[in-house]
């Protein structure tokens, strides 16, 4: 059963751009050859780390959005762990979060539709009440003139 994951890894800052592209292609090949799918890969650039990791203060961040099953993700993590250029990585399962957000959005949309219907009904009621009051208000000045004569 395929699930969606975000895999972020930090690569050594002294790695050349061509080598970084080759490394990304290697990890993408691991996922695709195992039957998974990489929907998006983002190079987030070089950033300062919060603390020193393997004697590095900077690192090049890469984010991959992966759809795969558990054993394939475990293999990807194993390869990330043994690759010397990768200094840190994290894998986060996002399918449960996506389902939760979709449920919240559907609930909000249904509430918006109900409140729109209620607003339309209230506007119609206000228009009907205004239509009833308008002739009464028009008759009041005529009665005032008749009483004055």
The topology (CATH level 3) of 3-93 is Alpha-Beta Plaits (3.30.70)
- Least confident range of 15-19, 43-47, 61-65, 121-125: 121-125
CA distance 10 to 88: 5
What is the structure's pLDDT at 47?
Answer: 95
Strands 56-68 and 37-53, sheet pairing: antiparallel
Report pTM.
0.67
Q: What is the DSSP string of 60-121?
A: EEEEEEEEE-HHHHHHHHHHHHH-TTEEEEEEEE-HHHHHHHHHHHHHHHHHHHHHHHHHHH
Domain extents in the chain: 3-93, 95-149
Tens digit of each residue's pLDDT (9 = 90 or more) over 62-120? 999 999 999 999 999 999 999 999 999 999 999 888 788 888 888 888 877 767 777 77
């Amino acid at each position: 059963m395929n699930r969606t994951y975000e895999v972020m890894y930090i690569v050594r800052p002294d790695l050349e751009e061509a080598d970084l592209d080759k490394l990304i292609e290697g990890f993408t090949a691991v996922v695709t050859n195992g039957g998974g799918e990489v929907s998006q890969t983002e190079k987030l650039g070089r950033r300062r780390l919060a603390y020193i990791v393997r004697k590095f203060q900077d690192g090049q961040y890469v984010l991959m959005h992966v759809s795969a099953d558990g054993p394939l993700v475990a293999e990807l993590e194993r390869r990330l762990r043994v690759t010397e250029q990768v200094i840190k990585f994290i894998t986060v399962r996002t399918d449960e979060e996506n389902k939760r957000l979709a449920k919240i959005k559907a609930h909000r949309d249904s509430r918006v539709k109900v409140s729109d219907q209620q607003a339309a009904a209230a506007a119609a009621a206000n228009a009907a009440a205004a239509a009833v009051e308008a002739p009464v208000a028009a008759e009041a000045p005529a009665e005032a003139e008749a009483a004055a004569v």
